[in-house]
Amino acid sequence: MKRFENLQQFINTHFNEQPTSLNVVTGDASFRRYYRLNSRGEHFIVMDSDPNKVNNAPYISLNKVFTEQGFLLPKIIVSDELQGFFILSDLGSTHLADMLGDINRTEHYKELINLSVQWAKTPASDAMQAYNEDFIKLELDIFSQWLVTGFINESLSADQKIMWQTSSELLIEAMLAQPTVTVHRDYHSRNIMNSNGQWAIIDYQDAVRGPLCYDLVSLLRDCYFKLPDAELTSLLGFAYKEFTDQDLIIDTSFNEFKYYFDLTGLQRHLKAAGIFCRLYLRDGKAGYLDNILPTLNYIIEVAANYSELTALSEWIKNIIVPKVIDKLAKEHA
């Protein structure tokens, strides 16, 4: 309660009169809270990002980096870094997720693939971590820790431990083999907005220097929306041509590119499924529980296409998914 009073005081300090309204905006998966503020007919976004819970330095420094590269991001109008309060420009409330029923959906995706190419070419910044072997492994451990052990209380047999180890090594190898570019890390339908006809990017603060295909996977194999197979295949071909034309990939066949795309997706979806469980178990956020099974289904489908990952696919399909279904049934009861 004290923090909200401090937030109101911060807001009042920067406006000549009391704002006419301050309404909660649906929160994201982080510890940040957002409000839409209306003052004298103008709209702003207020971000409450407690520095005791969140490191705000990347948000601030990368805002400058990406804005200077010409990307449309929320503008930081004023901030109190000590308290973690920010007043941002309001980019509206239309996300890509709200436009997925459009007849122009494929064109939207093509525009966003082109935008991701430009994002990938953003020069490295000190605020961007290296998405290295240790980082990738740490993310894979989120799946084993929070979903396998934490959510369904499953123990791995000796053979399953070997399978998990060899599968993880293969995914890490595929990710490190790709060209290293600037990666958003959450380039999906809920973090891409359409503001007055322009594409805008939010939640950019976790950007890293990492594998070329990562943002493409986030976009085309979105945990919150499944593209039809034919549309996905077409867009993947479009992306391959764009990446080739922009010299992001050189001397790489489409099959190699598809292999990188698929295995990067497996790592991302294993991590995401674990995060959905962590949000529930650690943070008390149940809103992501329904995204666990669709995310696991991506893993089952894709891993089944590669002989060296068949065991991973079968383990998740026959062991993990039934126990997740049982657990979800109990939580929803």
pLDDT tens-digit map of 52-76:
988 999 999 999 999 999 999 999 9
Looking only at the bridges linking them, the beta strands covering 198-201 and 192-195 are antiparallel
pLDDT at residue 122, rounded to an integer: 97
Indicate the helix (H) or strand (E) that contains 44. strand 42-48
Looking only at the bridges linking them, the beta strands covering 208-211 and 129-130 are parallel
Q: How far apart are CA 109 and CA 239, in angstroms?
A: 10
pLDDT at residue 15, rounded to an integer: 77
The letter for the amino acid at 127 is: A
- Helix/strand/coil for 244: helix
pLDDT at residue 18, rounded to an integer: 65
pLDDT at residue 32, rounded to an integer: 86
**Which stretches in the chain have pLDDT values below 70?**
1, 16-20, 26-29
| Positive/negative CA dihedral, 132, 63, 17, 196 | negative
Q: Which of 226, 156, 143, 135 is nearest to 188 (CA)?
A: 226
Q: Which of 178, 184, 219 is nearest to 203 (CA)?
A: 184
pLDDT at residue 27, rounded to an integer: 61
pLDDT at residue 21, rounded to an integer: 74
The letter for the amino acid at 44 is: F
* pTM as predicted: 0.94
What does residue 64 show for φ and ψ, rounded to 5 degrees? -65, -45
Q: How far apart are CA 216 and CA 218, in angstroms?
A: 5
pLDDT at residue 218, rounded to an integer: 98
pLDDT tens-digit map of 154-183:
999 999 999 999 999 999 999 999 999 999
**Does residue 277 contact residue 148 with C-beta atoms inside 8 Å?**
no
pLDDT at residue 29, rounded to an integer: 58
